[in-house]
Structure 1
Amino acid sequence: MTKINCFIPFAEKEQAQKTIDGLKSSALVNKIYLLAGADVQGTVEGCEVIKVNNLNASATMRAIADKADADFVLLYTKYDTLKFAPYAIDRFVQIAQDSQSGMLYADHYNVTDKGADKAPVIDYQYGSLRDDFDFGSVLFFCAQCFKQAVAAMKADYEFAGLYDLRLKLSQHAAITHINEYLYSDVELDTRKSGEKIFDYVDPKNRGRQIEMEQAVTEHLKEIGGYLAPVKADGQPNFRHIEFNQGDFAVEATVMIPVRNRIRTIRDAIKSVLMQKTDFKFNLMVVDNFSTDGTREAIDEFKDDPRMIHIIADYYDMGIGGYWNLAAHHEKAGKFIVQLDSDDMYKDENTLTTMVKAFYEQNVAMVVGTYMMTDFDGNMIAPGIIDHKEWTPENGRNNALRINGLGAPRAFYTPVLREVKLPNTSYGEDYALGLNISRHYQIGRVYTPVYMCRRWDDNSDASLDVVKMNNNNLYKDRIRTWELQARVAMNKKA
């Protein structure tokens, strides 16, 4: 009969007992192992304790592989009660056998003090390289596939062990989403979506980020998607730019896409018009169907000759479409610098700093450093976001792992016109950045030049699970297309 080894986090008997009882009620469960920290005392009758330092460490994955002597491995990743629907474990086994998958995960319910909410997850793709991909808390493995993946692990990570294992497993086996609601558990993180999205760049997580970058870089090398910083002859593996293409009336254009931002658009515009430069610049505000007074607020600045108000009333146009309009406008500058309508430039030197970086670093795109603030400009956690873990040598590989490229973003207009952005309002800049980085170096500015304001009306302040899943699915698709392009390019080289 098919059997399962179960591995669950253990802090104390009371915390784990209900989960253990539920697992024991299934005839498919062979053994239950408790993953406990070195200082944790006690056990539960009928279970075996495995001492671990970190649930996500490479050593923990190896310890699980050593104990896995059944057909399947069930790994639970939370310190709360897990409850399966009737015969849900049987369903995991059935799908695992039918699909011959290496790893499975399922839709589920998140239980909070307000009740139980559906928590659907998204399909895994070739380019699903985010280390924070949401599988839910139950990971179900073919034991042999798990062992094979562990055997292929080369590093000893404190934080990236489970991530490394998943990447290794994906090279040889399918990762399958069961779009059925098979279990429920307690939702530990009840923050709004807008409060979660910057966790990956929190400076206190830098050690974790470095490990994750190392793991994904190794994976890219193994599947042929890695882009080396230098060629075989020792020359840089990036296209050189002379910055002499085209005939531009101004050196730089700031582009603000906007729709219904009456509370913030004036601040954004003022932060641009106050810039001090030794070159000519202009401002393009691309306005799409604003109806709350935003359009009239923009017109308050029409007497400034640097101001260009573009009315883009297209029902089928996303922010990427706004960018394409601005890039191909006859008054577009040699460089185009981004500013969201919610945000502001930090001071009068932002534009000069961003433009100077193009020439100093010979890059087609520049990503700056931003500071998280409240509506009034006061710094809030996590503070300054500088992506210092990125390196010029490996930034374009690491970019396939993270969920955003930072801000502000600036582009050499001839390259921007060539590549173009997808006509979407989410992930459009990320897709562009990945495409550009395939051939060109991405420059970095590590001093804060941008204020990213968080407030209730931010477009990503509080997204429901369906919207979040749609966004993440699309970004994974962007990664998939980019990874496919890089693998194909490497094969031709």
Structure 2
Amino acid sequence: MTTPITVFFPASGTDNDAMMTSQLNQTGIVKETIQLISPTHSTTAKHIICNHLWSSKTIIRMAEMVQTPYALIVTTPQPISLGYQALARMLQVAIDIDAAMVYGDYRIEKENGIQPCPVIDYQKGSLRDDFNFGPLWLINTKMLKSAAQELTATHHYSGLYELRLGLSRQSAMVRVPEFLCTTLETDRRTSGEKQFDYVNPRNREVQIEMEAACNKHLQAIGGWLKPDFTTPVLDTPSFDVEASVVIPVRNREKTIADAIKSVLIQKTDFTFNLIVVDNHSTDNTGLLISELAKNDNRIVHLTPERHDLGIGGCWNLAVNDARCGRFAIQLDSDDLYIDENVVQHIVNAFYEQQCAMVVGSYQMVNFNLEPIPPGLIDHREWTPDNGRNNALRINGLGAPRAFFTPILREMMIPNVSYGEDYAVGLRISRQFQIGRIYEPLYLCRRWDDNSDAALDIDKINTYNTYKDRIRTIELEARIRINGK
């Protein structure tokens, strides 16, 4: 067949639709184009009316209409300029290895020029619903039709997500590491702003569908865990103090004193200390810690002998120190506890919920501690029964985090400075229940010095690849547990 592709693209209702159709026809390998339109839009072109653009019904209708060996789904209504022979290249790869889906890198036209936007390779653990495949998805039609038969027909928002999960169960999801097209930028927020989309209450209905789709996929591949947990024995062994707050820090002279003071004012009915791991700061951070430690013997000031520690390595150093308490409680060096009862509240939660890890909630603030959107981050998407399964889909577990020290010593935290808390949280959740506190415990500062405030595309891809690898490792471990 000389024209093996049917293209589906969201109509914009502008001249761009005709330009897109013309451009696709000029490739010589597109048989027909089908526009995805809203109920209020009219067109003489062949089309699908979509009450919700990427609903399961839309995907099912696509599968019914396509008669060519391959379908190209364009996921943006923005104008697209195809790269030279881009579709032919995608088709070649798809045929050569019988891929379920082929996608690739692209460029974005911004106000300050055209910038490259490379994407990353798909892994078995690439379960987050915001995985960036770029705007061109070339899909094997037989596999599209098979996946469409398994979609949850009532879902309004998770159609594309459930489709690509279904495709991944059939064959390879292949990235072509070449720039295939150029499109306009539509989301100009920084990486630090985008990372909280999945916990925004306005997106709750969407997230419920995404969780259900992920559960269905995990059950299909043997990675879903039943709500059966090991109960930790919290009263053994003995510890000199009941709790330790742990602050890894490097070069935070503007904020470290505030963080430490927010710990020292804590009121508890047990003894606690504060372990500050100064990872070879080159500013006045170390001096500020030392001065505060002179006046309060609860402060344990550690400086690693090694120079290759990330945040995770600093945590392991603190947790394995003999002075660490029964529970190790997190505080970042630029954040603060919200009041004087946080440590008591967290320790109570361990005993009340009989868990190995507790995660609280936090309020987003600026450097001056003034509330900023999206406000309270409480991760109410978590449920005791399914939280650990949904944790494979979402990008984080929340904060502040606290751990039963003997278990943390056993499982360890990866020696990295991004995703280390998520990695150990996934590992703990495989066996133990994670407790939750939905009241705000923590003021999380967003400012220019945050490590994830405004990342470039290469750093975003590095971080996302790492988290997907962590998910892949955890998913494989869970499949082994289930004997699949």
Task: Sort the TM-score into its range (normalised by shorter chain).
Answer: over 0.9
The equivalent of 1:42 in structure 2 is 43
Aligned to 2:230: 239
Residue 366 of structure 1 corresponds to: 358
Counterparts of 2:304 and 2:52, CA distance in 1: 52
Give, in angstroms, the shift of residue 276 of structure 1.
1.1
Structure-2 separation of matches of 1:265 and 1:39: 55
**Residue 77 of structure 1 aligns to which amino acid in structure 2?**
T
Say which of 249, 264, 273 aligns to 2:240. 249
**Conserved 8 A contact 1:288-1:313:** no
Residue 328 of structure 1 corresponds to 320
Q: 1:280 aligns with which of 271, 275, 285?
A: 271
Contact 2:56 2:152 in 1 (8 A): no
Which residue identity lines up with residue 284 of structure 2 in the other structure? G
Supply the AA of the counterpart residue of 2:68: A
User: Does 2:13 correspond to 1:22?
Assistant: no
Matches within 5 A, 1:387-398: 387-398=379-390
Q: Give the residue type in structure 2 aligned to 1:121.
A: V
> How far does the alpha carbon of each residue in 1:163-204 deviate from its partner, in whole angstroms, 9 at most, with x for none?
111111111111001101111111111222111111111111
2:251 to 260, 276, 285: 260
User: Could you tell me which residue of structure 2 aligns to residue 232 of structure 1?
Assistant: none
Structure 2 residue ranges without an equivalent (≥5): none
Which residue of structure 1 lines up, in the alignment, with residue 212 of structure 2?
Answer: 214
Which residue of the partner structure matches residue 343 of structure 2? 351
* Aligned residue pair count: 482
Establish whether residue 489 from structure 1 lines up as the match of residue 477 from structure 2.
no
Deviates more, 1:153-162 or 1:64-73: 153-162
Corresponding residue for residue 391 of structure 2 = 399
| CA apart distance, 1:313 | 4.9
SS in 1 for 2:35: strand
| RMSD across aligned positions (CA) | 1.1
**Partners of 2:309 and 2:388 in 1: CA distance:** 28
Give the TM-score taking structure 2 as reference length.
0.98
Q: Deviations 1:9-38 (Å, cap 9, x if unpaired)?
A: 113132423322211211101111110111
Counterparts of 1:313 and 1:82, CA distance in 2: 53
Query: Is the alpha carbon distance of 1:129 and 1:360 closer, same or farther for their aligned partners in structure 2, counting shifts above 3 Å?
Result: same
Misfit runs of 4+, over 3 Å:
none
The alignment's TM-score, normalised by the length of structure 1, stands at 0.96
Gap change, CA 1:135 and 1:363, over 3 Å in 2: same
In structure 2, the residue matched to 1:233 is none
**Contact 2:243 2:326 survives alignment (8 Å):** yes
Amino acid at match of 1:387: H
Mapped contact 1:111–1:187 kept (Cα < 8 A):
yes
Q: Look up the SS of the partner of 1:491 in the other structure.
A: coil
8 A Cα contact 1:287 1:313, kept in partner? no
CA deviations 1:332-365 (Å, max 9, x no partner) are: 0000000111211111111111111100000000
Identity, in percent, stands at 50
Among 77, 83, 96, the alignment partner of 1:98 is 96
* CA distance in structure 2 between the partners assigned to 1:18 and 1:307 by the alignment: 66
Superposition pairs of residues 430-445 of structure 1, within 5 angstroms: 430-445=422-437
Q: Give the Cα–Cα distance (whole angstroms) in 2 for the partners of residues 347 and 295 of structure 1.
A: 25
Contact kept in structure 2, 1:320 and 1:429, CA below 8 Å: yes
Partner in structure 2 of residue 294 of structure 1:
285
Q: Give the Cα–Cα distance (whole angstroms) in 2 for the partners of residues 364 and 309 of structure 1.
A: 26
Give the superposition deviation at 1:256.
0.5
Tell whether 2:313 aligns with 1:315. Answer: no
CA distance in 2, matches of 1:184, 1:18: 14
Q: Which residue of 1 aligns with 2:193?
A: 195
Question: Which secondary structure state, in structure 2, belongs to the residue aligned with residue 152 of structure 1?
Answer: coil
The 3-state SS of whatever aligns with 1:75 is strand
Are the aligned partners of 1:238 and 1:439 in contact in 2 as well (CA < 8 Å)?
Answer: yes
Q: Give, as a single letter, the amino acid of the residue that structure 2 aligns with 1:461.
A: A
The answer to whether the 8 Å contact 1:2/1:71 transfers is: no
Q: How big is each residue's C-alpha offset from its partner over 1:149-172, in whole Å with a ceiling of 9 and x where there is no partner?
A: 001224421111111111111111
Shift in Å at residue 282 of structure 1?
0.5
Residue 326 of structure 1 and its aligned partner are, at CA, apart by: 0.8
Q: Which amino acid aligns with 2:400?
A: P
Q: How far 1:377 moved relative to its partner?
A: 1.2
